[in-house]
Amino acid sequence: MSKCPYHQTTTAGAPVTDNQNSLSAGPRGPLLLQDHHLLEKLAHQNRERIPERVVHAKGWGAFGTFTVTHDISAHSRAAIFAGVGKQTPMLARFSTVAGEMGAADAERDVRGFALKFYTEEGNWDLVGNNTPVFFIRDPLKFPDFIHTQKRHPRSNLRSPTAMWDFWSLSPESLHQVTILFSDRGIPVTPMHMNGYGSHTYSLWNQAGERFWVKFHFKTQQGWQTMTNAESGQVIGKSRESYQEALFGAIESGRFPRWTVQVQVMSEQQAEEWSNRTGFNPFDLTKVWPHADAPLQQVGVIELNRNPANYFAEIEQAAFSPSNTVPGIGASPDKMLQARLFSYADAHRYRLGTHYEALPVNQPRCPVHHYHKDGAMRFFANDTGNPDAYYEPNSMNGPTEAPQYKEPPLAVDGMADRYSHRDGNDDFAQPRALWALFDDAHKARLYGNIAAAMAGVPANIVERQLALFAQIHPDYAAGVTAALAQ
């Protein structure tokens, strides 16, 4: 095909002869329906928006590399971990949770920390946060929890009453609430915070042995945080402080890095730990104390390339905890189990049936599946044979690969709706965290909580203070004093 001259075209490739003046009958109009270039421009503009993510709508992302620095092949057969020095291309998207796409970057909120690794055995997505725990431990409560973070149906305002009503009725939230209102609740930029896989996931090795694992991403830039007053000043100047910082750093060659670490327990060690501590190793509101499961080095991620087009590569990025690869798997964590469904479902709604074939989501390895047709099917049936569009077939179409099968997992118990509150200690770990804070940090924690409780009815505040008191009487007293100021 001959190379076209470099001029503006319609979407069908025809030259645009005038991009300044509409086609009209006479200089003063009216316009003519045959001006298909005008119609195309207006029609396309009407279709520029897609649904924003229902949570984590505001985000910032970049591409980079993951490099293995330590051998963990004894724990995982995943190709991404095969050999010290091995590099895998990746994408990261950071986000706030509650704010809409236009929200200010520097608001107090948990930050999303979503990673997509383009491995040769498929995409591995680790969709984590900048906190090691979460507010709830049963996914049945996720839509309720998110409703408290989003706008009130009548006032269309965020509702502190809804937030504290829910939290004060959900003691499992105390750990994450304490992190949220501590200094780490407002990182200065996405580069100045850690990431955590948060859930317990699994690794399995060539011998078919399974290990439980938690992933940690430690910022090499160091944690840097803002106070409420400082974030107010930043937001007063710019709503886009994170985008400016991340984009600017990469554009100027200051590539941010994180050290990748894992905590690993064998199935037996997890059982023993659970028996000893009373904690469920799959409870998302709990960490594994470092003393019980030491951090092991794995590698480093570096972000070194800004997207060429934000919408195409960051807005259309689709991260899902269900994107695992041989050697890395899920765990029984009920929250994770629900997420294995929820994300791909959201992607089909938000981006369309073939979202996985968009360039940013497309695996960097060959893809052979038998899904057929659907809106915007823009790629061929890549089974190597147009007649092989079902399976089994005798056309040499691709077949299953049992050599990659995950080791079997023993499960037991009666099917029932088990209380996720009974017998759970929701206070010991927040207490351990609170005890880490020096007096000045504690004072900021109390002040931040008091500020966020403005306008909340007294009975809800009292209920929350009673929960803080179970972490430590001084915690409740500190918040009470801050409320009185």
Residues with a catalytic annotation lie at 56, 129
* Of 85, 93, 89, 92, the residue nearest 66 (C-alpha): 89
Closest separation between CB of residue 361 and ligand HEM, Å?
Answer: 10
The CA-atom distances, in angstroms, between 142 and each of 149, 166, 196, 334, 446 are: 11, 11, 19, 11, 26
Q: Which amino acid is at 389?
A: Y
Closer residue to ligand NDP (CB): 433 or 453? 433
Task: Specify the stretch interacting with ligand NDP by CB under 6 A; choose among 104-112, 148-156, 429-437, 456-464.
Answer: 429-437
SS3 state of residue 257: strand
Tell me if 287 contacts ligand NDP by CB under 6 A: yes
Closer residue to ligand NDP (CB): 184 or 347? 184
Rg (CA), the chain: 25
Six token digits for residue 306 = 């800004």
Tell me if 290 contacts ligand NDP by CB under 6 A: yes
Closer residue to ligand HEM (CB): 127 or 265? 127
C-alpha 134/C-alpha 199 separation (Å) is 9
Among ligand NDP, ligand HEM, none, residue 397 binds (CB under 5-8 Å by kind): none
State the DSSP code for 344: H
Closer residue to ligand HEM (CB): 341 or 370? 341
C-alpha 310/C-alpha 331 separation (Å) is 33
Six token digits for residue 219 = 């910022």
Residue 165, phi-psi category: left (phi > 0), alpha (psi -120 to 50), beta (remainder): alpha
Cis previous bond, 30, omega within 30: yes
Closest separation between CB of residue 352 and ligand HEM, Å?
Answer: 12
Tell me if 88 contacts ligand NDP by CB under 6 A: no
Among ligand NDP, ligand HEM, none, residue 324 binds (CB under 5-8 Å by kind): none
Closer residue to ligand HEM (CB): 68 or 136? 136
Closest separation between CB of residue 50 and ligand HEM, Å?
Answer: 10
Using CB under 6 A as the binding rule, the residues of this chain from 459 to 478 that contact ligand NDP are none
Closest separation between CB of residue 226 and ligand NDP, Å?
Answer: 13
C-alpha 424/C-alpha 441 separation (Å) is 27
Query: x/- string (CB under 6 A) for ligand NDP, residues 172-191?
Result: -------x--xxx-------
C-alpha 46/C-alpha 133 separation (Å) is 40
Using CB under 6 A as the binding rule, the residues of this chain from 110 to 139 that contact ligand NDP are 132
Closer residue to ligand HEM (CB): 259 or 342? 342
Among ligand NDP, ligand HEM, none, residue 319 binds (CB under 5-8 Å by kind): ligand HEM
Closer residue to ligand NDP (CB): 412 or 438? 438
Contacts with ligand HEM, residue ranges (CB under 6 A): 53-56, 59, 93, 95, 112, 114, 127-129, 134, 139, 142, 198, 284, 317-319, 335, 338-339, 342-343, 346-347, 350
Six token digits for residue 358 = 């968009």
* Residues 93 and 319: beta-carbon distance below 8 Å: yes
SS3 state of residue 115: strand
The CA-atom distances, in angstroms, between 468 and each of 439, 444, 464 are: 16, 15, 6
Among 130, 176, 194, 243, binds ligand NDP (CB under 6 A): 194
Six token digits for residue 138 = 């049963």
Closest separation between CB of residue 272 and ligand NDP, Å?
Answer: 17
Q: How far apart are the first and last CA of the chain?
A: 75
Among 32, 84, 140, 432, binds ligand NDP (CB under 6 A): 432
* Residues 261 and 296: beta-carbon distance below 8 Å: yes
C-alpha 448/C-alpha 182 separation (Å) is 8
Burial 333-344 (b: 16+ CB within 10 A, else e): bbbbbebeebbb
Closest separation between CB of residue 463 and ligand HEM, Å?
Answer: 24
C-alpha 413/C-alpha 99 separation (Å) is 40
Among ligand NDP, ligand HEM, none, residue 129 binds (CB under 5-8 Å by kind): ligand HEM
Tell me if 436 contacts ligand NDP by CB under 6 A: yes
State the DSSP code for 321: T
Closer residue to ligand NDP (CB): 50 or 432? 432
Closest separation between CB of residue 374 and ligand NDP, Å?
Answer: 42
Among ligand HEM, ligand NDP, none, residue 448 binds (CB under 5-8 Å by kind): none
Among ligand HEM, ligand NDP, none, residue 139 binds (CB under 5-8 Å by kind): ligand HEM
Q: Using CB under 6 A as the criterion, which residues of the chain lie in contact with ligand NDP when the complex forms? A: 132, 179, 182-184, 194, 216, 287-291, 429, 432-433, 436
